[in-house]
A and B are shown apart, each in its own frame.
Chain A
């Protein structure tokens, strides 16, 4: 089974709305990261949250982490058409160095 599973698998919203994606994982982590992948491109790092942090902001992104529930959420506020992409969570395990285990991804479509 996969370390990270995300839901929803796909999300379609209107421009200006907020988008929320969730990620659940199974084992103890050192950190959790979110990446974006535009169609046909490589992944781009968005934000990292450490296991001792509960919330982090970066521009229009807000990430929360609940280690007791082994879950994280990514909120994109005031979405734009350019936010259309797949979003992946990735966990860095305790003692795992920089090895990342990726989730299944959420495909976000922001319509005009």
Chain B
């Protein structure tokens, strides 16, 4: 019954590796997001997709590549992982891109790069 789910919950990997995080929402929403929360709990948007199209790209390094195979899924692939990529990554969704639409967050994926 989870509205927004992410896998994996924890990810520990070596520098230089490539990894993916998956996100699925069963709310029938059109819009999905990826956020990064750093160790100081600062939360910053990375990407947003609406109906599988990229609408927000917040100057994230090219090593990060989101992919939306359908409206219910938004995956995040990270190449050549760096120590600074260690963070908690949250997926979220909303009914549309309209202002004031509530965003529903997933439980987060805790990424640790060693």
A88/B56 in contact, CB under 8 A: no
A86/B90 in contact, CB under 8 A: no
The size of the chain B interface, using a CB distance under 8 A, is 27
Q: Does B60 contact A (CB under 8 A)?
A: no
Q: B98 to chain A: which residues have CB within 8 Å?
A: 97-98
**Which of A18-26, A36-44, A59-67 has 4 or more CB atoms under 8 Å from chain B?**
A36-44
Given the contacts A42-B106, A42-B107, A99-B56, A86 and B41 also touching, CB distance less than 8 Å: yes
Contact among B44, B90, B97 for A97, CB-based, below 8 A: B97
B100/A41 in contact, CB under 8 A: no
A37–B43 CA distance with the chains assembled, in angstroms: 11
A99/B103 in contact, CB under 8 A: no
Interface set, chain B 64-114, CB cutoff 8 A to A: 90, 92, 94, 96-108
Q: A86 to chain B: which residues have CB within 8 Å?
A: 41
The size of the chain A interface, using a CB distance under 8 A, is 26
Contact among A50, A88, A98 for B43, CB-based, below 8 A: A88
Closest 7 CB pairs of A and B: A42-B105, A102-B43, A43-B105, A45-B102, A97-B97, A30-B99, A98-B97
Known: A43-B43, A97-B55. 19 other contacts (CB 8 A): A30-B100, A31-B99, A35-B105, A40-B108, A41-B108, A42-B90, A42-B106, A42-B108, A43-B103, A88-B43, A92-B99, A96-B99, A98-B48, A98-B94, A99-B45, A99-B48, A101-B45, A104-B40, A104-B42
